[in-house]
Amino acid sequence: MSVATGIGTDELAGRRERLWALVADRAPTGLVVFDQSYVQYLTRFSFLATERPVAYVESEAGETAAFVPEFEVARVEAETTFDRVASYPEYPGEEHPMRILAGVLAEMGIAGTIAADQDGYPGILGYAGPALSEVSEAAIVPLAPALESLMARKSHAEVELVRESARWCGHAHRLLQEHTRPGVTEAQAGLRAGCEATLAMLDALGPGYDGQLSSTDGASAGYRGQIGERSAWAHAISHNIEFRPGDVLVSETSAPVWGYNAELERAMIVGAPTDEMRRHFEHMRAAQQVAFAALRPGVTCAAVDRAVLSYFSGQDILGTWSQHTGHAIGLRNHEAPFLDVGDETVIEPGMVFTIEPGVYVAGLGGFRHSDTVAVTPDGIEVLTDYPSDIESLTIPA
């Protein structure tokens, strides 16, 4: 079987060309992009986002630059092909990095009007600093909406990376299910599954696999605290809980492949399921099938969510609803648009979504499968491949 590889330089160049076209009417003299996912989307350049500002810069003439702290220069020069790598000594420094960035922009002829994903570096991890508009004395054209619209429609290469991620999510989930037994804790099961799956993934993808931010990045699998009655909370946090017979579990997996993500989740039960568990489990599966049938080009995201809500209402189980039907996924685990009654985005081929309507019953547990699907010209293709029936998802007690 062939293994997917990263996004090629021609596709990256095409993305930047389309981005320029989307903001051409505002006549910016350059682009400044701070968000980690946006930078990776446009350039494949990966970095650890901290309080130290990082930016991708491109002039109207096509000159490209990375703006990074000084200690990043050697790595960036070795691993990228930007026309220049500009730097600053450290944050906050005697001269603030944003003021140094303003000088770089002036040198590149970027002035007057600048298209940027936000007006300055985001306030993460204690960062504070002046706005881009202040230091550059330029008008800022919002760039984020254009970037989101581009990212929403995946190319063939992007879908293949998500497909590869889905394959490794399935492998990690099989290991998680194997290691989940009464008396075992969620940390023991999840850490074993994630480590084993990651080593297998790295071996299969080979030395050309890049873009990881640490040596332990890879596949992960676990429960995030959704064990027993806590699984009735649509989101929970881990408490290293020990599995017991009668527990309802909701799993989660991840396996970024060159930055791209699929999502695979399953409701599972430790020991023989009760009739009540079976009833809620089957309602959840039926709601997911409703979403699969509703999702196709030309309909809105809201229409898909309304179809699922109609099923819940018709079955008189609306009280078990907690979350919308799903969300887009790709370079980020959650992307726009959202399969929600409040999102009227028209669905197009190339979009990739999670489909995860859940049934949440206080005092019993939560029942949620999540599968990743790609929208095709005539419907959808399910990229994740894992059993969904209750018999296959019952853990021996």
| Residue in this structure with the two tokens 């009540």, named with its chain if needed | 276
- At residue 211, the pLDDT reads 61
Give all strands (DSSP E) within the chain, no chain letters.
30-33, 55-59, 64-69, 84-88, 113-116, 139-142, 220-222, 248-250, 252-254, 267-270, 326-328, 335-339, 352-355, 358-361, 365-368, 371-376, 379-382, 394-395
- At residue 208, the pLDDT reads 79
* 273 pLDDT higher than 60: yes
In terms of Cβ atoms closer than 10 Å to its own Cβ (0-12, 13-18, 19+), residue 276 is: exposed
Distance CA(237)–CA(250), nearest Å, equals: 12
Distance CA(328)–CA(354), nearest Å, equals: 6
Distance CA(393)–CA(269), nearest Å, equals: 7
Which amino acid type is present at position 303? A
Specify whether the CB–CB gap between 351 and 377 falls below 8 A. Answer: no
How confident is the model over 100-132, as pLDDT tens digits? 999 999 999 999 999 999 999 999 999 999 999
How confident is the model over 200-236, as pLDDT tens digits? 999 999 887 876 666 667 899 999 999 999 999 999 9
- At residue 348, the pLDDT reads 98
- At residue 215, the pLDDT reads 63
Determine whether domain 153-395 maps to CATH 3.60.70.12.
no
- The domain spans of the chain are 9-150, 153-395
- At residue 213, the pLDDT reads 65
- At residue 1, the pLDDT reads 39
CATH code of 9-150, in short, is 3.40.350.10
Q: Is the peptide bond before 245 cis (omega within 30 degrees of 0)?
A: no
Q: What are the Cα distances from residue 326, in Å, to 3, 9, 109, 248? A: 28, 31, 43, 21
How confident is the model over 143-199, as pLDDT tens digits? 999 999 999 999 999 999 999 999 999 999 999 999 999 999 999 999 999 999 999
Helix, strand, coil percentages (3-state) for the chain, rounded to 5, are 35, 20, 40
Q: DSSP code of 345?
A: P
- At residue 203, the pLDDT reads 92
What is the pTM (predicted TM-score) of this model? 0.95
Q: Which of 93-97, 214-218, 331-335, 351-355 has the lowest mean pLDDT?
A: 214-218
Q: What is the mean pLDDT of residues 309-329?
A: 97
Average of per-residue pLDDT values in the chain? 96
Shortest CA distance to 294 belongs to which of 282, 285, 283, 303?
303
Which pair of structure tokens corresponds to residue 260? 């791209």
Distance CA(392)–CA(183), nearest Å, equals: 21
pLDDT band at residue 6 using 50, 70 and 90 as cut-offs: confident
Q: What is the mean pLDDT of residues 260-266?
A: 97
Which pair of structure tokens corresponds to residue 390? 């209750």
